[in-house]
């Protein structure tokens, strides 16, 4: 059997099954992006890692070293935000070609340091190795959270509302502009979606508010795409979900880019990935108050996009015209082979498989993915 036969999540499950049982200091191990560990002081230690590989996660000629540094740190911070926690210490491993300029490393570390400073975290060490191909930036991040502020993927309950911060699809729109520079939108729109893709903002303050209210039941960050990520909550919580496609927040800039490249903006929002917004669930009688608390304390809008339903009802998407279709988990998977598409449901769900924003098919480097999930 090959890795491609299992797919990314099948491989994670296989690895997990071979790990010995945990001691009492491990609250959450493999399976939730961030390990949760008890410390002697009573707080919980959060540990996560994420990697950026040239040609897989980024193209060096489409991102500056500074932007790469900021993004590499931000996507790790986003995982901590989704637990309601605070990032503290980073360990950074670099694999670099020998011919790379030292100025590249200088710019990379300026970005890393600036993003860490914004989050109140410190770079405390790392490792260097020579790469025979491209640049690799691998970050190990430690954070912490109060035990009663911790949020996992496994707490969603039937009847909960599904809420998201910000808007969806901006990063995918930014990737489209990077890969198709001939696409013309306004300067303001271009800068908006490019910033979302190249220098995403982890929702740390929002995560703190959500955790401190103790009103949410589950949370994660939107890295693989809303359709796929809400599926992770469904799997861990053993529930189903109904997403109202007409309520998914999509920015005007994303809509403009989607129109220019001949794509549906809802598909981009559901399956594009790398938005690093927060998706969380809350009981119906507390959801509106929680959304208002986040908006008033952080300025970030929160939108109710659906409802948690019994697992027997599955995962569905209500399209703006009222059509109901299965909500397929067709977000990013590093190892899964391309799916066979047939019928309307997979046409909706197959957006990223179908195009990867089209520009990939003409990219001399082949496939590009700007997110590597940890386990």
Closest to 179 measured CA to CA, from 152, 197, 156, 204: 197
Q: What DSSP state is assigned to residue 198?
A: H
At 225 the pLDDT is 94
Per-domain boundaries in the chain: 32-149, 161-362
CATH of domain 161-362: 3.90.650.10
| Residue pointed to by tokens 């060490």 | 125
Q: How far apart are CA 281 and CA 284, in angstroms?
A: 9
At 66 the pLDDT is 97
Q: How far apart are CA 372 and CA 298, in angstroms?
A: 28
Mean pLDDT over 139-157 rounds to 96
Alpha helices by DSSP H, listed for 55-133, are 65-81, 102-119
Whether the predicted pLDDT of 344 surpasses 50: no
CA 40 to chain centre: 31
Q: How far apart are CA 153 and CA 231, in angstroms?
A: 10
Sort strands 122-130 and 86-96 into parallel, antiparallel or unpaired.
Answer: parallel
Give the Cα-Cα-Cα angle 244, 261, 170 (nearest 5 degrees).
50
Contacts of 194 (CB under 8 A, 6+ apart): 174, 177, 178
pLDDT in tens, 236-265: 999 999 999 999 999 999 999 999 999 999
**Same topology for domains 32-149 and 161-362, yes or no?**
no
Whether the predicted pLDDT of 356 surpasses 60: no
Helix axes 252-260, 187-198, angle to 10 degrees: 100
At 242 the pLDDT is 98
pLDDT in tens, 77-115: 999 999 999 999 988 999 999 898 889 999 999 999 999
Whole-angstrom CA distances from 295 to 61, 131, 163, 178, 217 are 37, 44, 12, 31, 18
Q: What DSSP state is assigned to residue 60?
A: G
End-to-end CA distance of the chain: 21
- Predicted confidence band of residue 336 (pLDDT cuts 50, 70, 90): low
Whether the predicted pLDDT of 40 surpasses 80: no
Contacts of 89 (CB under 8 A, 6+ apart): 121, 122, 123, 124, 141, 142
Fold of the CATH domain 32-149: 60s Ribosomal Protein L30; Chain: A; (3.30.1330)
Q: What DSSP state is assigned to residue 58?
A: B
Whether the predicted pLDDT of 346 surpasses 90: no
At 279 the pLDDT is 98
CA 356 to chain centre: 16
Q: What is the pTM of this model?
A: 0.82
- Predicted confidence band of residue 358 (pLDDT cuts 50, 70, 90): very low
SS3 label, residue 123: strand
Q: Give me 120's structure tokens.
A: 């109140």
Whole-angstrom CA distances from 183 to 7, 193, 291 are 33, 13, 36
Whether the predicted pLDDT of 138 surpasses 90: yes
């Amino acid at each position: 059997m090959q890795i491609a036969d299992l797919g990314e999540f099948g491989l994670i499950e296989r690895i997990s099954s071979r790990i010995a049982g945990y001691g009492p200091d491990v609250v959450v191990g493999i399976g939730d992006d961030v390990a949760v560990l008890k410390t002697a002081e009573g707080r919980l230690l959060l540990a996560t890692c994420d990697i950026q590989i040239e040609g897989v996660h980024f193209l060096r000629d489409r991102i500056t070293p500074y932007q790469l540094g900021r993004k590499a740190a931000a996507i790790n911070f986003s995982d901590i935000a989704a637990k309601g926690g605070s990032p503290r210490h980073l360990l950074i491993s670099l694999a670099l070609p020998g011919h790379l300029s030292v100025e590249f490393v200088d710019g990379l570390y300026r970005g890393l340091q600036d993003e860490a400073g914004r989050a109140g975290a410190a770079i405390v060490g790392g490792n260097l190795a020579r790469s025979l191909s491209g640049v690799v930036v691998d970050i190990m991040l430690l954070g912490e959270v109060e035990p009663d502020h911790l949020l996992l993927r496994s707490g969603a309950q039937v009847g909960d509302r599904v809420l998201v911060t910000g808007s969806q699809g901006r990063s995918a729109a930014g990737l489209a502009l990077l890969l198709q520079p001939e696409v013309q939108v306004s300067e303001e729109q271009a800068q908006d979606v490019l910033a979302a893709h190249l220098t995403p903002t982890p929702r740390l303050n929002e995560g703190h508010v959500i955790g401190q209210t103790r009103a949410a039941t589950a949370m994660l960050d939107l890295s693989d795409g809303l359709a796929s990520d809400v599926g992770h909550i469904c799997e861990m919580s053993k529930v189903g979900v109904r997403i109202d496609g007409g309520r998914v927040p999509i920015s005007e800039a994303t809509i403009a880019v989607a129109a220019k490249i001949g794509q549906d903006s809802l598909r981009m929002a559901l399956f594009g990935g790398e938005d690093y917004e927060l998706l969380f669930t809350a009981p119906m009688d507390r959801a509106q108050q929680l959304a208002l608390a986040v908006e008033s304390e952080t300025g970030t809008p929160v939108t109710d996009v659906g409802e948690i339903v019994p697992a027997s009802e599955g995962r569905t998407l209500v399209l703006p015209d009222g059509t109901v279709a299965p909500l397929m988990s067709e977000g990013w998977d590093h190892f899964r082979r391309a799916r066979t598409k047939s019928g309307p449901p997979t046409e909706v769900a197959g957006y990223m498989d179908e195009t990867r924003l089209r520009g990939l098919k003409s990219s001399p480097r082949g496939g590009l993915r700007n997110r590597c999930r940890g386990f």
